[in-house]
Structure 1
């Protein structure tokens, strides 16, 4: 089982295919883990609104995906400084471990926050990005966001190494800002990364936040893209977009 040791814990990841690397950040809020690309534990047996990108991308790319810290098979300590930078440090460590200097990125839901934070932390890392269903804060969803934080925290409180006070502080700190939480609007505009956006349209994935991302990044917007009538075509467009923006490989 591929495990990366990080400061205070370990990260589970998988890699398949050959070629230019694509790093996938799955949906699922802070419980973002590989399986959430194809299933949702709150809706057992029901298809996701999107197609799993892994089988679509693997014939063309080296596809890297992971369970983020404290989700799925990954574990890490929760200290007084736990926050977005903790996750980004893991993601940079994974790229270094795999000897990846640049890559494409695809993120769903909170994966958009992870993707934009990665490029902010190390500009030039992301060569192109597919941003699907971004989370963010709007005028009407503070209670919805807080409920997701509480649900995430409740799943960790049974661990003997988790201090509830530090856990509560981490949740409040990470989701105290606006936009997509991990970066500011200025950060997103500064990135200048070719972007394909599949916009959100509900309380957790507000249309207003997607509109901001589209404006700030000059993204190609793909809509509609959810559900059985559109998800397969959307997945193929994501593949083609990344192929179009793949740097030429020197021999």
Structure 2
């Protein structure tokens, strides 16, 4: 896959997990990036210039391919994709790299994983950026069974328009293992109870596109959390919000306001 220079691997729960570790020689604060469903570290973070933006700002940037995605090991067992288990992969990566504490940023499914990580290992997560996911973290983001069916369809032309066609096309473009992604949809949709959202005390920025019909309201989620704020990514839908320049600027400002030392 293009853009895989510097790819390394570590193991957790029997999965070989791919990651990149950029700018570590400069000793900057670590930012761990967790990508969304059907994406990869490259598609979600390298191609939209997040890695460039963050390294140029002096941060050490770590990004992994979640299990079932990209160059990491695949499984067709839904339970392997529970967000608690993917969050454990993220913690294991910090352990592998000897990083005690990091900023954590996730997009869409990666935001869900990041929230579960913040609850499971709060001492490892200094701040949170949740992109592409608002109150859907708590209330759900709609019926995804048709998307699983779309991924498993033998003929892409039979996939109905809307979300099923969008995600099937995205999976085809990223050359993903569609059987693994169908299992991931079934296993990764665990909702975060509102009481658990209230227990996430890290400084949190929630960024959602104003045209995003998947994420749910970011203000409602921010209102549940004791130290969260929302950011409206103007005129962007779920797919386009991630690379928005105003979102990048706001994230840099947020990270600067919440250094690891505090």
Return the TM-score normalized by structure 1: 0.75
Q: 1:90 to 1:25 in 2, by over 3 A?
A: same
1:233 counterpart residue number: 246
| Structure 2 residue matching 1:117: 3-state secondary structure | helix
Q: Distance in 2 between matches of 1:150 and 1:194?
A: 38
| Deviation of 1:232 (Å) | 1.4
2:59 counterpart residue number: 61
How big is each residue's C-alpha offset from its partner over 1:117-165, in whole Å with a ceiling of 9 and x where there is no partner? Answer: 111111222111111111637989533x22334455676466xxx8x9x
| Structure 2 residue matching 1:190: 3-state secondary structure | coil
Q: Distance in 2 between matches of 1:75 and 1:130?
A: 26
Match of 1:25 among 29, 34, 39: 34
Between stretches 125-134 and 221-230, larger displacement belongs to 221-230
2:41 counterpart residue number: 34
The aligned length equals 222
Between stretches 240-249 and 132-141, larger displacement belongs to 132-141
2:186 counterpart residue number: 172
| Structure 2 residue matching 1:104: 3-state secondary structure | strand
Matched, 1:202 2:200: no
Q: 1:5 to 1:141 in 2, by over 3 A?
A: closer
Gaps of 5+ in 2: 1-6, 154-175
1:98 counterpart residue number: 97
Q: Distance in 2 between matches of 1:226 and 1:12?
A: 33
Structure with the largest fraction of helix = 2
Gaps of 5+ in 1: 40-47
2:200 counterpart residue number: 191
Q: 1:202 to 1:147 in 2, by over 3 A?
A: farther
1:44 counterpart residue number: none
Match of 1:52 among 44, 49, 53: 49
Q: Distance in 1 between matches of 2:140 and 2:33?
A: 29
| Deviation of 1:7 (Å) | 2.1
Return the TM-score normalized by structure 2: 0.72
| Structure 2 residue matching 1:247: 3-state secondary structure | coil
Q: Distance in 1 between matches of 2:91 and 2:137?
A: 26
State the 4+ residue runs in structure 1 displaced beyond 6 angstroms.
Answer: 137-140
Give yes or no for contact 2:138–2:193 (8 Å, CA) kept in 1. no
2:170 counterpart residue number: none
Matched, 1:211 2:211: no
Give yes or no for contact 1:23–1:64 (8 Å, CA) kept in 2. yes
Q: Distance in 2 between matches of 1:87 and 1:191?
A: 18
Q: Distance in 1 between matches of 2:231 and 2:137?
A: 21
